[in-house]
Amino acid sequence: MRNDDCWCGSGLKYKKCHMEQDEYLKKLSKEVGYKIPKDIIKTPNQIEGIRKSGVITHAILDLMEEVIKPGVTTEELNKIAHDYTIEHGGIPAPLNYGGFPKSICTSINEVVCHGIPEDRTLKDGDIINVDVTTILDGYYADASRMYIVGNASEEAVKLVNDTKKALELGMEQVKPFSTVGHIGHAIEGFANENGYSVVYEYGGHGIGTKFHEEPFVAHVGDPGEGMILLPGMVFTIEPMLNIGKPETRVLRDDWTAVTRDGSLSAQWEHTLVVTESGYEVLT
Task: Detail the residues annotated as belonging to a binding site for substrate.
Answer: 114, 212
Using CB positions, name the residue nearest to ligand MF3: 94
As measured in angstroms, the least distance from the Cβ of 69 to Co ion is 23
CB 220 within 8 A of CB 188: yes
Nearer to Co ion among residue 14 and residue 265 (C-beta) = 265
188 binds ligand MF3 (CB under 6 A): no
User: Out of 50, 77, 105, 141, which residue is the one contacting ligand MF3 (CB under 6 A)?
Assistant: 105
**Side-chain-side CA neighbours of residue 73 (13 Å):** 8
Three-state secondary structure call for residue 7: coil
CA distance 243 to 246: 9
Which of 46, 236, 242, 248 forms a contact with Co ion (CB under 5 A)? 236
Which helix H or strand E contains 76, and what residues bound it?
A: helix 74-87
What is the size of the binding site for ligand MF3 (CB under 6 A)?
A: 14
| 3 state DSSP class of 153 | coil
The alpha-helical segments, DSSP class H, found in the chain are 19-32, 44-67, 74-87, 154-171, 180-193
Any contact of residue 213 with Co ion (CB under 5 A)? no
Q: Which is nearer to Co ion, 115 or 232 (CB)?
A: 115
> Interface residues for ligand MF3 in 61-100 (CB under 6 A)?
94, 97-98, 100
Nearer to Co ion, 110 or 142 (CB): 142
Q: What's the CA gap between 74 and 85, in Å, rounded? A: 17
94: partner contacted, choices Co ion, ligand MF3, none (Cβ within 5-8 A by kind): ligand MF3
CA geometry: angle 149, 135, 46, nearest 5 deg? 125
Site for Co ion in 115-134 (CB under 5 A): 131
* DSSP 8-state symbol, 48: H
Among 18, 42, 82, 114, binds ligand MF3 (CB under 6 A): 114
Cα angle: 170, vertex 171, 177; to 5 degrees: 95
- Residues contributing to the site for ligand MF3 (CB under 6 A): 94, 97-98, 100, 105, 114, 131, 133, 142, 205, 236, 238, 255, 269
- Residues contributing to the site for Co ion (CB under 5 A): 131, 142, 236, 269
